[in-house]
């Protein structure tokens, strides 16, 4: 393998990929200290994606079953493809999605790591764009190799088409035009004795006030490095759940630091690994993170204009983390069009992308009922944090029509957010109490399961948004 890797890279301009010396364990190699440099200027944008022609950032999570592939289209229509799905379909689902969206060039192909469920379509993608499209600009790889035929085919395609390849480390630059793009990991010297998952390339995309963090299969060691290295600056509006929602990723401290409003999980519905794991879904639920799962939502597209994010999915399914498995399993299928589901502002003055409405309070119609907050019990008996179920809000439908609250959200001034589960309906005159603590939901009582007090005793703001992201109730106390 060492000779094969060297012979491949010898024909690629400015390439330095870690050698295969040392004992091989589970397909990984002991890396050396060599690192490459990254290009200084972006390639010319050469793609057309009509939905992204107005200066937005579009992040597309492709439903490819068990695996991961994410297409990013920048404000000047440059493209980045992070991973290409599992080896079992040889990139067919990813290529079908790219063709569906008229992508004719991949400017940046990022290999988070060499596992076959992340590079399964690399060879096919490179071959297709180099022979039938406008090429692949640059490939970024963490430099830890695999002995798999899938990885070998990936290297063969790079050699055959003379594609530039860079070994990539934390601090390297990917010149994605119009997007602040940071490589956060892996560090020099690697983590966890060169474990492939723990040394996934971690990319952070900044666009306006929105940030997307994509950590590959990084787990405990990777997240510890990220928290220690970047601390509070590691904020994320959107987080791709690490390692397909594995319990070893999306740890509590990492979530506290990144503090995402949205999470996206890429895995199969019947994953042989049980992804996403219940522990992760519970951690998401405790933080009221709106969660999308490619296995039930199909392809997921998040479009940011810098101040708000429009969410489009192929299929409607629960977004409350603990209800994800109540959705219907959906096989990969690019034929069903994406439908806009909601708009999530990054801040309170956010404008909505793609011609939607702004996030201003509006009067609900009688046809939808009228939601009012009739009690704000912010000061629980004793210590608030020890008596969370005595901190609560009471809502009433004061209209004359039933009010369906599934997908609606409640937030405080600090943007701690609870999402009503699907199936919650208030008849005219009916009330429901939302407790901060834990319990079993009923028709009269709901439980946030937050873990600490939310409502400030000295004054706060209750903000309720409907399932399209529009503020329908805002009350200060």
pLDDT in tens, 11-26: 333 333 333 322 223 3
Quick count: other Cβ atoms within 10 Å of Cβ 139? 23
| 440 three-state secondary structure | coil
Residue 247 CA to residue 226 CA, distance in Å, equals 17
pLDDT value of position 6: 35
pLDDT value of position 26: 33
Give the mean model confidence (pLDDT) for residues 412-437: 90
Q: Which residues contact 242 (CB under 8 A, 6 or more apart)?
A: 215, 216, 217, 218, 219, 222, 223, 249, 250
CA torsion through residues 269, 270, 275, 279, sign: positive
Do the domains 2-345 and 366-476 sit in the same CATH topology, yes or no? no
pLDDT value of position 336: 85
* First CA to last CA distance, the chain: 67
Annotated domain spans of the chain = 2-345, 366-476
Where does 331-476 show beta strands of DSSP type E?
Answer: 339-345, 371-377, 392-397, 403-404, 409-411, 417-419, 425-426, 431-435, 445-447, 461-465, 471-476
Count of all residues that appear for the chain in the document: 477
Of 160 and 54, which is predicted with more confidence?
160
Q: What average pLDDT does the chain have?
A: 84
Please state whether the predicted TM-score (pTM) of the whole model is above 0.75: no
What's the CATH architecture for 366-476?
A: Sandwich (2.60)
Kindly report, residue by residue over 142-164, the tens digit of the pLDDT: 999 999 999 999 999 999 999 99
pLDDT band for position 347 (cuts 50, 70, 90): low
pLDDT value of position 358: 34
Kindly report, residue by residue over 183-227, the tens digit of the pLDDT: 999 999 999 999 999 999 999 999 999 999 999 999 999 999 999
pLDDT band for position 353 (cuts 50, 70, 90): very low
CATH placement of domain 2-345: 3.60.15.10
Residue 131 CA to residue 162 CA, distance in Å, equals 12
């Amino acid at each position: 393998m060492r000779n094969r890797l060297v012979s491949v890279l010898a024909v690629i301009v400015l390439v330095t990929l870690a050698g295969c010396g040392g004992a091989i364990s589970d397909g990984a190699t002991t890396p050396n200290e060599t690192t490459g440099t990254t290009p200084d200027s972006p390639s010319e944008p050469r793609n057309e994606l009509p939905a992204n022609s107005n200066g937005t950032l579009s992040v597309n999570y492709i439903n490819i079953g068990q695996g991961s592939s994410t297409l990013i289209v920048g404000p000047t229509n440059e493209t980045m493809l992070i991973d290409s799905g599992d080896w079992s379909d040889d990139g067919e689902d990813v290529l079908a999605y790219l063709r569906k969206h008229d992508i004719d060039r991949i400017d940046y192909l990022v290999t988070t790591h060499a596992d076959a469920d992340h590079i399964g379509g690399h060879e096919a993608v490179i071959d297709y764009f180099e022979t039938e499209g406008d090429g692949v600009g640059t490939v970024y790889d963490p430099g830890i190799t695999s002995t798999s035929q899938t990885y070998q085919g990936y290297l063969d395609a790079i050699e055959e088409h003379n594609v530039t390849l860079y070994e990539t480390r934390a601090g390297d630059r990917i010149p994605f035009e119009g997007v602040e793009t940071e490589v956060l990991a892996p560090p020099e010297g690697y983590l966890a004795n060169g474990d492939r998952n723990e040394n996934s390339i971690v990319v952070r995309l900044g666009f306006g006030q929105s940030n997307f963090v994509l950590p590959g299969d990084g787990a405990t060691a990777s997240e510890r490095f990220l928290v220690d290295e970047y601390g509070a600056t590691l904020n994320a509006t959107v987080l791709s759940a690490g390692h397909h929602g594995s319990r070893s990723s999306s740890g509590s401290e990492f979530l506290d630091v990144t503090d995402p409003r949205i999470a996206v999980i890429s895995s199969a519905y019947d994953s042989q690994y049980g992804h996403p794991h219940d522990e992760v879904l519970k951690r998401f639920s405790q933080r009221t993170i709106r969660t999308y799962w490619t296995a039930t939502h199909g392809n997921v597209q998040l479009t940011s204009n810098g101040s708000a994010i429009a969410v489009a999915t192929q299929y409607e399914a629960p977004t409350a983390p603990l209800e994800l498995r109540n959705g219907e399993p959906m096989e990969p299928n690019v034929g069903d069009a994406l439908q806009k589901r909601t708009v999530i502002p990054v801040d309170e003055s956010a404008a909505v992308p793609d011609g939607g409405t702004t996030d201003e309070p509006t009067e609900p119609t009688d046809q939808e009922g009228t939601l009012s907050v009739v009690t704000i019990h912010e000061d629980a008996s004793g210590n608030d944090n020890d008596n969370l179920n005595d901190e609560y809000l009471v809502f009433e439908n004061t209209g004359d029509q039933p009010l369906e609250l599934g997908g609606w959200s409640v937030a405080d001034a600090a943007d701690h957010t609870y999402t009503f589960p699907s199936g919650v309906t208030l008849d005219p005159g009916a009330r429901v109490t939302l407790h901060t603590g834990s319990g079993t939901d009923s028709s009269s009582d709901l439980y946030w399961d937050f873990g600490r007090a939310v409502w400030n005793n000295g004054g706060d703001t209750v903000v309720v948004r409907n399932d399209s992201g529009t503020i329908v109730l805002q009350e200060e106390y």
